């Protein structure tokens, strides 16, 4: 733990596992284990949790106490609910000439033509973008980037790796996931983590429209590769998701304490000096990479929290 210019920082090899409260219902700091598993309290006038759409609700649920038996900031019962990923699909094309797409920067959201689809025309809700980029290393190409009919061993396999690495184009289709209340993170009643605390449990099932969108965007990606003159075109099977790197929507923002966890200032409705700032606040999913949206919200939250502190509104 280090203190700099009046701010206290918990070391990265520590493990925060509870937000401490006083009898008046204010957050007083963060309780954490150090590397030797000793417990410490880092006091704070305000607590800002930025642990993503999974660990933020888990920390709130782990911090349940007599005042907040269902978890902190959870009077609405929505902490951990409305988990959203992003629907996605991948199409690949092999060209007869080198593209050398592994060089330079990987770009995102190149084609926005389908960003807002008309449900009356396509038959489902949502939208997304097509992202043509090749950001795979040779080992990833070997595992998942070769045409299905490629030999998986020997001289022909090596030749395909050498030939295809500079000639492959990948079109990612990234779209929305509709908010569904039953998609959630919660505390597992039986499984414990390495620290002896309840492990995170995920419950998730794609909305049917998310799968329709993924298939629809994937078809547009295949059309694009065909029009570009790819010699060979193939796609990855689209299945129900069991994993994602985009964890959104589990502590949603809103004006009504009954239907949201935080207000537009990122302040929790239930606890005046507890703030949440990460992808958990989103009420709809992004159509691709959510990082810059989360960054913009972080800058905004910093301004709002600073203003609240300057006017002395963090609570007694």
Based on the domain organization, do 44 and 122 belong to the same domain? Answer: no
Give yes or no: residues 96 and 216 share one domain: yes
55 and 8, same domain (yes or no)? yes
Residues 166 and 226 in one domain: yes
Same domain, 25 and 64: yes
Which parts of the chain sit beneath pLDDT 50? Answer: 1-6
Q: According to the model, what pLDDT value does residue 287 have?
A: 86
CATH of the domain at 269: 3.50.50.60
| Same structural domain, 130 and 156 | yes
pLDDT digits (tens, 9 = 90+) for 252-283: 999 999 999 999 999 999 999 999 999 999 99
Does the residue 15 lie in any domain? Answer: yes
Q: Give a yes or no: residue 190 inside a domain.
A: no
Task: Output the pLDDT for position 245.
Answer: 86
CA 81 vs CA 116, 139, 190, 209, 265: distances in Å: 25, 37, 20, 19, 20
Domain that residue 288 falls in: 2-82+253-310
For residue 29, is it within any domain?
Answer: yes
Residues 119 and 221 in one domain: yes
CA distance 12 to 37: 14
Q: Which two tokens stand for residue 259?
A: 């239907």
In this structure, are 71 and 106 located in the same domain? no
pTM of the model: 0.91
Q: How many domains does the chain have?
A: 2
- For residue 200, is it within any domain? no
Exposed, middle or buried: residue 137 (CB in 10 Å: 0-12, 13-18, 19+)? Answer: exposed
Tell me what pLDDT residue 8 has: 56
Domain assignment present for 241? no
Please report the pLDDT score of residue 158 as a whole number.
95
Same domain flag for 272 and 306 = yes
Percent of the chain with pLDDT over 70: 95
Structure tokens at 131: 């992202």
The answer on 117 and 78 residing in a single domain is no
Closest CA to 138 of 160, 165, 169, 104: 165
DSSP for the chain reads -EEETTEEE--TTSEEEEEEE-TTS-EEEEEEE-TT--EEEEE-SSEEE--HHHHHHHHHHHT--SSSTT-TT-TTS-TTBS-B--EEEEEEEE-SS---TTSS------B-TTSS--HHHHSS---EEEEE-----HHHIIIIIS-TTS-SSHHHHHHHHHHHTTTEEEEEEEE-----TT-EEEEEEEEE-TTSSEEEEEE----HHHHHHHHHHHHHHHHHHHHTT-SEEEEPPP---S--S--B-TT-B-S-TTT-SB-TTSBBSS-TTEEE-SGGG-SS--SS--HHHHHHHHHHHHHHHHHHHHTT-S--
> CB of 269 within 8 A of CB of 68?
no
Same domain, 76 and 91: no
pLDDT on residue 5: 40
* Cβ proximity of 185 and 58 under 8 Å: yes
Pairing of strands 232-235, 39-43: unpaired
Provide the CB-side half-sphere exposure for 69 (13 A, CA). Answer: 1
Cβ neighbours of residue 237 closer than 8 Å, sequence gap 6 or more = none
Same domain, 98 and 229: yes
Predicted local confidence at residue 3, as pLDDT:
36
Separation CA 296–CA 75 (nearest Å): 27
Phi, psi of 219 (to 5 degrees): -65, -40
What integer pLDDT is reported at residue 7 of this predicted model? 54
Residue 246 inside a domain? The answer is no
CA 285 to chain CA mean position, Å: 9
Is 281 in contact with 60 (CB distance < 8 Å)? no
Query: 114-145 pLDDT, tens per residue?
Result: 999 999 999 999 999 999 888 888 999 999 89
Q: Positive or negative CA dihedral for 280, 281, 285, 291?
A: negative
């Amino acid at each position: 733990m280090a203190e700099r210019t009046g701010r206290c920082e918990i070391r990265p090899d520590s493990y925060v596992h509870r937000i401490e409260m006083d009898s008046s219902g204010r957050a007083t700091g963060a309780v954490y284990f150090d590397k030797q598993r000793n417990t410490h309290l880092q006091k704070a006038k305000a607590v800002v949790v930025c642990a993503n759409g999974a660990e933020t609700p888990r920390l709130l649920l782990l911090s349940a106490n007599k005042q907040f038996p269902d978890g902190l900031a959870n009077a609405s019962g929505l902490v951990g609910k409305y988990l959203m990923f992003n629907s996605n699909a991948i199409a690949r094309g092999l060209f007869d000439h080198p593209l050398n797409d592994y060089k330079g920067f990987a770009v995102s959201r190149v084609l926005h033509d389908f960003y807002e689809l008309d449900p009356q025309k396509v038959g489902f809700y949502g939208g997304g973008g097509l992202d043509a980029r090749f950001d795979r290393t040779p080992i990833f190409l070997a595992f998942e980037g070769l045409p299905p009919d490629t030999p998986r061993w020997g001289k022909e396999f090596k030749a395909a790796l050498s030939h295809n690495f500079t000639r492959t184009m990948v079109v990612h289709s990234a779209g929305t996931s509709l908010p569904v209340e039953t998609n959630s993170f919660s505390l597992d009643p039986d499984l414990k983590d390495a620290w002896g605390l309840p492990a995170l449990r995920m419950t998730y099932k794609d909305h049917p429209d998310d799968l329709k969108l993924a298939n629809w965007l994937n078809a547009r990606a295949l059309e694009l590769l065909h029009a570009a003159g790819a010699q060979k075109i193939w796609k990855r099977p689209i299945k129900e998701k069991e994993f994602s790197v985009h964890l959104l929507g589990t502590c949603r923002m809103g004006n009504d304490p009954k239907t949201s966890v935080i207000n537009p200032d990122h302040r929790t409705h239930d606890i005046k000096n507890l703030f949440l700032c990460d992808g958990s606040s989103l009420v709809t999913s992004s159509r691709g990479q959510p990082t810059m949206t989360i960054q913009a919200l972080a800058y905004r939250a910093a301004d709002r929290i600073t203003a609240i502190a300057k006017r002395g509104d963090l609570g007694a």
